[in-house]
Amino acid sequence: MYNFKSFHFYFAEVAPSVAEVLDFLKSTDLEEEHPAVIFIRDILDELNYSTGIQGGYIIKNINELNVKSGFINIENTTLNIGRQICGYIKEAEKVALFLCTAGEEFTRMTNALNEQGDIMEAYLLDAIGSLSVENAMDKIQIELKQILHPDHFKISNRYSPGYCNWPLTDQKALFDLLGENSIGIALSESFLMTPRKSVSGIIGIGQQLKHHEYGCKICTNTTCIYRKILHE
Amino acid sequence: MSSELLTKLSECVEFGKINLASPYPPQMKGLPGADEITKEALESGVTPGEILNDALISAMNKVGQKFSENKIFVPQMLLSAKAMGASMIHLKPFFANGSVQRKGVFILGTVFGDLHDIGKNLFGMMVEGAGWEVIDLGIDVKIEKFVEAVKQNPTAVVGISALLTTTMVNMKPVIEAIKAISPDTKVIVGGAPLSSDFAAQIGADGYGKNPQEGIVWLDKLTA
């Protein structure tokens, strides 16, 4: 029986650099004096005083993993993660179900910028939020790997509902499995998370698990905007 | 004089010079921006229609073209849109009193189940810059909300956006519901995972691979 393990990061611990944000936005050619660059620099400083990023995971045993039918059963709850993700974690014996959020403050700041017509700034802040949450999840994954290493368990990359053909509607079952947690992420009736800048998903755990490429490199969606930004 | 002001205004929008206080772009530092030039143009007798058609629309066209050719990226495009917004504030009263005619009404939203708004916002700004009135319904927009907006604006064109393969399938029931109450309403769809084939399969009338393509399609409706 495992409990939900939660983490709290100060923003500075997971903040992307100015260069990382520009790289993410495919805008490394912007001049130093471009308002986007100035804003990124200033807001990163300001966010150092924010509440930070929260995340965590809970480990569960797998009852059944059916690659052909594309589902995984955990504690009598079925997650239709699809053949693609099933294939990537087919050697898993357990899974870590995870959550991570940049918090309500990020959403409030982004909305305020949009409302005052600062659309570019809102877009940049949104990108910083996404990168910070991903950086926090990277740290959580490293910790998970270290904890499991003595028992010769390996972990997979992380996969989320809505991506790699895992239906977003599965968020409900995923949240049911996650149960009570201290992160405070809620689901809307359209299965979207509040706070908005949040991620959820699954990581496979197994002694025989093989490494597969992460994210865009394995996705079959060749026209996705993230693939375009990150890999072209 | 008027053509000189319109050219200057067009450049301000194209390069993102919002107002006098904006230090960017460096070559325009200390000069009036879209805000002040629009004010000056109106005071000197340039009509709001000329400002819209001969400066703003042409500037945003250039911006859209550069974006579709990967010569600029989202931050530059948004800065241009912001400069356009600074000019548009002065034109709003003329839209409201009917002295400037827009091309039509465009209802826009991200389909239910999807909260991605960057593509939608960008397209909305480009459509506004192309001379349309934009009603932005936001993200995670339910079928009923689209239908209600069409009922209130029966001549409007509808745009639906989605970013995920798992949410683009939600577009079909929205289109069906709109066509059920208003068969002549035109619907355009867009978003990274979509294709023209998918758009046709779900009953959309148009598909925009990028904002510029969407604008071209919209403008054909008014031609």
pLDDT at residue A217, rounded to an integer: 58
Q: Does B118 touch chain A (CB under 8 A)?
A: yes
A25 closest CB neighbour out of B74, B163, B194 = B74
Joined tokens for residue A216: 């865009």
Q: Give the start-to-end residue ranges of the domains of chain A.
A: 5-231
Q: Which helix (H) or strand (E) holds B75?
A: helix B74-96
pLDDT average, residue stretch B210-222 = 90
Q: Tell me the two tokens of residue B210.
A: 């990028």
CB-based contact (8 Å) between B26 and chain A?
yes
Instruction: For residue A16, give the DSSP letter.
Output: P
In whole angstroms, what is the distance from residue A125 CA to residue A36 CA?
10
**pLDDT, tens digit, 9 for 90 and up, residues A116-156:** 888 899 999 999 999 999 999 999 999 999 999 999 999 99
At position A75, the amino acid (one-letter code) is E
Contact A212, A157 (CB under 8 A): yes
Interface predicted TM-score (ipTM): 0.81
Q: How many other C-beta atoms lie within 10 A of the C-beta of residue B70?
A: 10
* DSSP reduced 3-state for A183: coil
What is the chain B residue with the closest CA to A161?
B166
- When scoring B22, B69, B73, B114 by the number of chain A Cβ atoms within 10 A, the one with the most, hence best to mutate, is B73
- End-to-end distance of chain A based on CA atoms, in angstroms? 44
Hey, which residues 27-66 in chain B have their CB within 8 Å of chain A?
Answer: none
Residues in chain A, pLDDT under 50:
225-226, 228-232
> Residue B43, class by beta-carbon neighbours within 10 Å (0-12 exposed, 13-18 middle, 19+ buried)?
exposed
Fold of A5-231: NADH Oxidase (3.40.109)
Per-residue pLDDT, B64: 86
- In angstroms, the Cα distances linking B132 to B129, B140, B223 are 7, 23, 14
Alpha helices in B21-142 (DSSP H): 34-43, 48-50, 57-68, 74-96, 118-129
Give chain B's domains with CATH numbers.
2-96 (1.10.1240.10), 105-222 (3.40.50.280)
What are the respective helix, strand and coil percentages of chain B, to the nearest 5?
55, 15, 30
What was the pLDDT predicted at B112? Answer: 93
